[in-house]
Structure 1
């Protein structure tokens, strides 16, 4: 069996922090698993298709679409979400270069929009839903160019800093990790606005993993808390873990359908 946090391995420190946490949770659950390296640009769909997943991060959109034979384990509660009273949720942040003259999202229309990949909620589906409110078939495309797929949140940041795009999406948890571990990089970008909250990406196991194994794993995750497990959680900007119902992610499908109904199927 394998564990993996590729989705949030946005810095070397975050990578090591997630490996340490996942290994410790597996140990406390009385289980064994390999902390698999699966670096970008390898497609996450290849990881999610495996039959030996024990605790692997998955985007909420493909989970809601039931594209892979997996079952939910837990969802992380970030410190930011806990402070906002939105446990187990996150947002897509629309970020721009620090020197950008844009003061609202409409100021970026006509420019260049970056994105991660069309299979991502935070990097595409949430962006499409948010922008669909501005779209009309009778007006020009919102953006002159769409830059992507950039695959990772970090590449969105780097693309904006390099002047190759004018605005782009960033998962709010990825923002927290990057600000915590690479503040020098993040001082070159700023948040313009954000999307509605949505359920966080979740840790999943293969559908074939037995219920007692899932229960042991969940128990170990849910026992983590900021007071007693700061050494594991603080480096990852986490508060705790929760186990929402499996249908919590249906809202991201609903938002895709709304964007489609508005005539905004692809970013443009």
Structure 2
């Protein structure tokens, strides 16, 4: 059995997530749910989400919608108290270099984009879906593999803009210099945040209770480190969002 929490795992947050897992593990065991002693950090996220013995993971809403909706049990979405978002929601920030002329998202029509992954809602899907609805065209020219990579690509002028998960942006701004040459000019619409899951066929209630017990029990240091307020059970309809187009040299309302 495994537990893996990869979505906001940075060197600076690792100890906080390990402390959170310690609390979750103990609370699960108190309800007679088996749980591993420690988090697994070295498994690719897709493999972790698909594991038949998954005790706990957390997943971006796009891979959940696209590939895992019928394969896992939703528990609840992490609430980080992000600006402009409701409980359990997050959004992505449109970022450009400080010297870029764009002042609004509308000014990015035709711009080159660094994107993290095709199955990242915040790093690709939200922007692509909103561009298609608004009749804008973006040119996704560089796949970076991470939000940090996208921030670095924009800062270096390898692409004109990127969309960065607001919680990740907060972590990068606090612990790195990657955001210093960036400017936020807008945000995507809020959607379900990073969501805790377990294997299919489980009752989510004791898992949600264990997560919130563990969050409440974190030390002040780790609470400040993670900035996680709670896990919130969202209706399944909250995840009924359209799938975005795949990245292509130019994306618009009529496709490439």
Q: Which bin holds the TM-score, normalised by the shorter protein?
A: 0.7 to 0.9
| Residue equivalent to 1:115 | 115
CA–CA distance in structure 1, aligned partners of residues 11 and 21 of structure 2: 16
After superposition, what is the alpha-carbon deviation per residue over 1:89-146, rounded to whole angstroms, capped at 9, x for unaligned?
111211112222221223333331111222221122201122123427xxxxx34x42
User: Which structure dedicates a bigger proportion of its chain to helix?
Assistant: 1
Q: How does 1:10-159 map to 2 (within 5 A)?
A: 11-30=10-29, 31-33=34-36, 34-38=38-42, 42=44, 44-65=45-66, 67=68, 69-81=71-83, 84=84, 86-135=86-135, 142-143=137-138, 145-159=139-153
CA contact (8 A) 2:77 2:233 kept: yes
**1:246 Cα offset (Å):** 2.9
CA–CA distance in structure 2, aligned partners of residues 19 and 89 of structure 1: 23
SS of 1:51's equivalent in the other structure is coil
Uncovered stretches (5+) of structure 1, i.e. residues with no partner:
137-141
**1:195 Cα offset (Å):** 1.0
Q: How does 1:186-205 map to 2 (within 5 A)?
A: 186-205=179-198
CA contact (8 A) 2:94 2:161 kept: yes
CA contact (8 A) 1:5 1:19 kept: no
| Residue equivalent to 1:139 | none
TM-score, normalisation: structure 1: 0.80
CA contact (8 A) 2:191 2:238 kept: no
TM-score, normalisation: structure 2: 0.83
The number of residues matched between the two structures is 245
**1:217 Cα offset (Å):** 2.4
Q: How does 1:224-235 map to 2 (within 5 A)?
A: 224=214, 230-235=220-225
CA contact (8 A) 1:5 1:15 kept: no
- The partner residue of 1:164 within 132, 139, 158 is 158
Q: How does 1:235-250 map to 2 (within 5 A)?
A: 235-250=225-240
Counterparts in 2 of 1:229 and 1:239: CA distance versus 1, 3 Å: farther
Counterparts in 2 of 1:85 and 1:62: CA distance versus 1, 3 Å: closer
Counterparts in 2 of 1:265 and 1:22: CA distance versus 1, 3 Å: farther
CA–CA distance in structure 1, aligned partners of residues 127 and 85 of structure 2: 23
